[in-house]
Structures are given as C-alpha cells and as structure tokens.
Amino acid sequence: MASISSSPRTVEEIFKDYNARRTGIIRALTNDVEEFSNLCDPEKENLCLYGHPDETWEVNLPADEVPPELPEPALGINFARDGMNRRDWLSLVAVHSDCWLLSVAYFFGARLNRNERKHLYSLINDLPTVFEVVAERKPIKDKLSADSGSKPRGSIKRTVDVQVKTTAMPADESCSEDEEEHGETLCGRCDGNYNANEFWIGCDICERWFHGKCVKITPAKAEGIKQYKCPSCSLKRSRP
C-alpha cells in the first residue's frame, strides 16, 4: 500500500513527494521492468503498483482500510500482462500511474489556496509524465526549442505567425511545414491545438505557447515586447 513518511504540507514538500514517487514508478517500468513484469502474475489477486517517498516501488495488494489512508492506484494491473503487447501494457500502467500520482499530490494539497495549487501544477507539469518516459515521447516544449542553437533566448521565444514569414516557398507549403513542426503544441490557456493560420506567442519564462487572442496579444503589440511573460508567470513574479 502507499506509504507516508511524513505528511507534506507546503507546495515544495508535496512536489518533492510527487517526484520521489514518480521516480520509483519510472524505475519499475524501465530499469526494473523484468522484475516488475514477473511480480505482476495474472494468477494472483488484484495487484497495484505503488511509488514510495524514498524513490522505491512496490507491487502489492490494495489497502484493507476503507477509506484508505491515501488514494489507491489502479487495481488489477497484473490481469492484462499476458493479454496485451508488453509495450502497450506498460504504457497503460504508466497512464494509470500518472493519474494516481496526481491524485496523491492533490490529496496532500487539499488545503492549498488557489495560487499554491496553480504553482504545484506548474511544477508537476514541467516534468515529463510517466507515460511520456515509458512511451519515449518527448515533451512538447523540447520540440519547440529543438532548433534554438546558440541564439539569445529573447530571439527564440517570440511569435509564431506564418503570415509574416519571409520564405520564398508557397504559402500552403510553408503552413504545412510549420504545422508539422509544431503539430502537437497546445495552447497553455485553452489547450487548443496549433494552427498555422493563427498568431501564437511563447512565454520566455515557462516556455509555454499561447494563442495571441487567448492572452490578448496582437502581432503589432508583440513587436514591442522584449521578453514576454504569460499571465501565470506575471502573477508569480508579482507575488511578494
């Protein structure tokens, strides 16, 4: 069952607990995958994968207490072991583990105020999910900054506006390449998908991208901004 070394209360303590449990689970699904797989015997009862605050992991039966001391992870991860492709099975366990990690973090954070909860989620969101690690998917922001080279940061994170590109290729081809490069990008405000026909702007602090309309920034206004800070980052910087 899930263990509590000491009940974390602050944002930093909760994030540290989250990251330690996440580390243990990632180890189970990657470096220790053979041991993990062997422990998930389909002939046994409902088994769960736990990550602990000391960065260890455990496959065990769920807690007997009702309600449990902490939220419980997905039950019966062992039953699908032999009925699925191993990679798909591990990815499924990873997705459920991400859900469990978030539930534990917000269980501890139940008494945080609104800004503290936003800060906690921001810290968590800066890390790749367990699923991204197991499925070997790179976080979106890595793709956005892949071609940054040695340019100054201020020149990297600016507007994504294909309408002002000065390339010689036809407009349709330009849009196609741009959408292919940023196709998985989501707006940090509305979670909408990237569209090459819309104006976008990137935050120089958190490196997330936004529809200009979602943060009320026009292409003309963006030209006069040396370092853009999104509303969330501006709020953090203004706090005493």
What percent of the chain has pLDDT above 90? 47
The answer to whether residue 170 sits within a structural domain is no
128 shares its domain with 197: no
Residues 130 and 13 reside in one and the same domain: yes
**208 has a pLDDT exceeding 70:** yes
**Average pLDDT score over the chain:** 80
Distance CA 107, CA 94 (A): 20
Is residue 188's pLDDT more than 60? yes
In the chain, helix, strand, coil percent, each to 5?
A: 45, 10, 50
Picking from 74, 105, 134, the residue at the C-terminal end of a domain is: 134
In a domain, 69, yes or no: yes
- Please tell me the least confidently modeled range out of 28-32, 180-184, 189-193, 212-216: 180-184
Tell me the β-bridge partners of 159.
201
Query: Is the pLDDT reported for residue 178 higher than 80?
Result: no
Sign, CA dihedral 165-169-172-173, equals negative
Q: What is the mean pLDDT of residues 199-217?
A: 88
Together in a domain, 232 and 116: no
> Among 115, 134, 153, which residue terminates a domain?
134
Q: Give the residue from 49, 66, 167, 64 showing the smallest Cα distance to 100.
A: 49
User: Are residues 39 and 129 located together in one domain of the fold?
Assistant: yes
Residues 129, 188, single domain; the answer is no
Q: What is the pLDDT of residue 169?
A: 36
| Alpha carbons 77 and 68: distance in angstroms, whole number | 19
In a domain, 202, yes or no: yes
If asked whether residues 49 and 114 sit together in one domain, one would say yes
Query: What confidence tens digit (pLDDT) does each residue in 54-107 have?
Result: 999 999 998 887 787 889 999 999 999 999 999 999 999 999 999 999 999 999
Looking at the fold, whether 38 and 129 belong to one and the same domain comes out as yes
Whether residue 28 is contained in a domain is answered as: yes
Is there a single domain that holds both residue 27 and residue 127? Answer: yes
Give domain status of residue 4, yes or no.
Answer: no
125 shares a domain with 25? yes
Q: First-to-last CA distance in the chain? A: 40
Question: How far is residue 62's CA from residue 221's CA, in Å, rounded to a whole number?
Answer: 55
**What band does 138 get if pLDDT is binned at 50, 70 and 90?**
low
Predicted pLDDT of residue 190: 85
The verdict on residue 139 lying in a domain is no
| Collapsed DSSP state (helix, strand, coil) of residue 51 | strand
Long-range contacts at 182-191 (CB < 8 A, ≥ 24 apart)? 182/143, 182/144, 182/209, 184/140, 184/143, 185/140, 185/143, 185/144, 185/209, 186/140, 187/211, 187/214, 188/230, 188/232, 189/214, 189/215, 189/230, 189/231, 190/214
Number of domains within the chain: 2
125 and 230 inside one domain: no
The answer to whether the Cα torsion of 188, 190, 196, 200 is positive or negative is negative
Half-sphere exposure of 204 (CA within 13 A, CB side): 14
Domain that holds residue 211: 184-239
Among the candidates 92, 111, 134, a domain finishes at 134
d(CA 89, CA 81): 6
CATH number at residue 195: 3.30.40.10
pLDDT value of position 181: 55
Question: Is 27 inside a domain boundary?
Answer: yes
pLDDT of 162 higher than 80? no
* Distance, C-alpha 17 to centroid of its chain: 16
Q: Within this chain, do residues 102 and 18 fall inside the same structural domain, yes or no?
A: yes
Instruction: Output the CA angle 176-182-187, nearest 5 degrees.
Output: 125
Domain match, 27 and 116 both: yes
User: φ, ψ for residue 211 (rounded to 5)?
Assistant: -60, 135
pTM of the model: 0.57
206: left (phi over 0), alpha (psi -120 to 50) or beta: alpha
Q: What is the predicted pLDDT for the residue at 117?
A: 93
Who wins on pLDDT, 114 or 224?
114
Domain contains 225: yes
Phi, psi (degrees; rounded to nearest 5) at 48: -125, 155
Q: Quickly state the pLDDT bin for 9 (edges 50, 70, 90).
A: confident
Does position 19 have pLDDT exceeding 80, yes or no? yes
Average pLDDT of the residues in 113-123: 94
